[in-house]
Each structure stands twice: as structure tokens, then as C-alpha cells.
Amino acid sequence: MLPQPASSTDPKSLLRAREGLILHQALCAVANLGVADLLEDMRTVGDLARELQVNEGALYRTLRLLSGQGIFEETAPRTFRNTDVSRSLRSGVPGSLRPMFIFWGSEFCYPCFGEMLYSIQTGEPSRTKLAGMDGFEYLRHKPELARIFDEAMTSTAELAAPSIASAYDFGAWGSLMDVGGGNGILLSYILRAHPTLRGVLADQAHVLERARQRGFLSGELEARTTMEVCDFFQAIPSGCRAYLMKSVIHDWNDEQSRTILANCRKAIPRDGVLLLVEFALTGENLPSTGKYIDLAMLVLTGGRERTVDEYRKLLASTGFRLDRVAPTAAEFAVIEASPV
């Protein structure tokens, strides 16, 4: 019998699940407003409300809830300041989660979860039902939302990047292409951790332009880095021994994933390697971040998280052999596969 998570016989424990929805949306709201930026100094709710041009009573009720959860601190009646937790909601600080909460509360994400029943009934992403197009096409039509998405992906990648860079010997391959690597923040951590490695950032042209503007691969890394335009549904550039994709395959269903992996197989040399960084689900019914993201993929993109065995079969169908799985401290795993 598989181990089961601890549970309570009190049905009221089930009712507490709805509190997560309210807490999440309160965090998204204060992230949008930039409350944590203002609370580096203690402020009264009245001062905050005037500066933010919001309703004072509603703002107080929101901060009261969040303070009760240890996110802010009420130091005197109707006066608040940051805690170590809320400082992660500030703008432009290392490890900031503000962009992530803004994105998850945005029109791209939040309405889709209200239509989860549709996705369960059909197996199709509710994003397509709501917008009539897939998520990435929708972002192409919404440049400001695409910017928010970009900021969110950068902030979450920055949290995991150090543990990924140190969990696997990327330097052993000499050259590494980060396919669909976005702003290049993960590649920058990997290059710094492996000083003999040469890196290539491969993505669509407009993404690479943003990467140049962000500058994660500038300075001392510039001499070891190049950028190449890539649409992984069409073709992937050759020229490296190792090919990395982080959180790419989970965005797509099996058929779409096979197209991407088949293009990888054409690019990777016989003595090369494919490295997938994904949540590798276990068969045990225990809590995991990957299982939450799995349902997010269901409603947002039509993709999915997979078990190691599912990755093994998917890889085998496109000419790869799964060799090993290297865990990281960030719940991700580095899945190493060789061409056969």
C-alpha cells in the first residue's frame, strides 16, 4: 500500500482549503499594489491608502488577514511593517516573488482555474476555451502581459537556478545549449558554476532581444556565450554536446513534446546528451509542488508533469535512452538522456 498524507477526521479541515484561494488573491493584490515596497518603513493604513489611492478600510482588512498569517506585522493599531516573509514581495530584490504573484493573479492565469471543471471534463486547457487560442499565442497578442510573464519566469528561475547549477556536472560536456532558455538566467548560473563551459542561449528572436536587455549573460560571461534564434517546433541549432531544456516539455502534450524531442535528436551528436530539468513525479500519493503545477499545466497550456517512467517512454519514442536522474534541492530533477 502506498503511504498516504496525514489527514484529519474533522470535516472542517476540508473547509480550510478555500482559505488558500483567499490568501492567494490577497497576496496577488498587495503584490500588484507594491505594498511591501512601501512598508520598509512603518506606515499607518491611512498613509498607505492615500499613497496607493485605495479604500482604507478594505486595505486594512487585507493587511490584517496577511499579518495574521505572519506575512506582515501590525506593530500598533492600524500600523504595519514588513517581516522577513513580506520582504520577498518587494520589487527588484534578489529572490523577489512579486512578479510571480502579479502573474498568477493576472488575466492569463486566474480565470483559467475558475474553469477547471471544463479541463477535467475535456482534458483540454481552459485557457483555450476562454481565449480561443493557446497560452503562448495569447501572450503574443498581449505584450504587457508577456512582460509580466517574463518577469515571473525570471523570478522563479532565479530561485531554483543555484541548486540546479550545482546538482549536475554540466561542465563535463564542454558546451551547452539552453533551448527555450528565456532571459538566460539559468544558463548564467550554470556558466558561473562551471567556468570551462561554453554556453549558447537558443530561443525566439524577440525573447533573445529581451535577454540582451536584461544582461544576465553580459560581463565576464559574454566571452563564453552566444545566442541563436530557435523555434524548437521547427528545428534546433547544432554545435553543442549538451542540450538543456528547463520546464519546456511540461508545457506540451505528448504529441507536441515528441516533435520538440525529435528536433533535439537531430541536433545532438552521438557523443552528446539531452538534459531535461523538470519535476519528476513519483507514484506515491504524497504532497508535492509538481502535482500542483501539473494541474496548472492542465488548465493553462494543456501540458503535464510526468513521472520518470513516463519520461523514459517519451524519450525512447524519439530516439533517446534515459540514463539517470539527478535530484536537486529545488524539487526539480535533471533527467539525463543519451541518443541511441
Which strand ranges, in their side-by-side order, compose the sheet holding 79-82? 43-44, 79-82, 72-76
DSSP 115-160: THHHHHHHSS-HHHHHHSS-HHHHHHT-HHHHHHHHHHHHHHHHHH
Q: Which residue has the cell 512598508?
A: 39
State how far Cα 302 lies from the chain centre.
Answer: 16
For residue 116, give the amino acid letter.
M
Do the Cβ atoms of 247 and 272 come closer than 8 Å?
no
C-alpha grid cell for residue 285? Answer: 500519493
Verify whether residue 250 is a known catalytic residue: yes
DSSP helix/strand/coil, 241: coil
Task: Give the separation between CA 46 and CA 52, rounded to whole angstroms.
Answer: 10
Q: Name which of 326, 334, 332 is nearest 288 in CA terms.
A: 332
C-alpha cell at 136: 503562448
| Burial of 303 per CB tally in 10 Å (0-12, 13-18, 19+) | buried
Question: Which residue is catalytic, options 141, 194, 206, 250?
Answer: 250
CB-based burial label for 100 (10 Å; 0-12, 13-18, 19+): buried
Going by C-beta distance under 8 Å and a sequence separation of 6 or more, which residues neighbour residue 44? 78, 79
**Residues recognised as catalytic:** 250
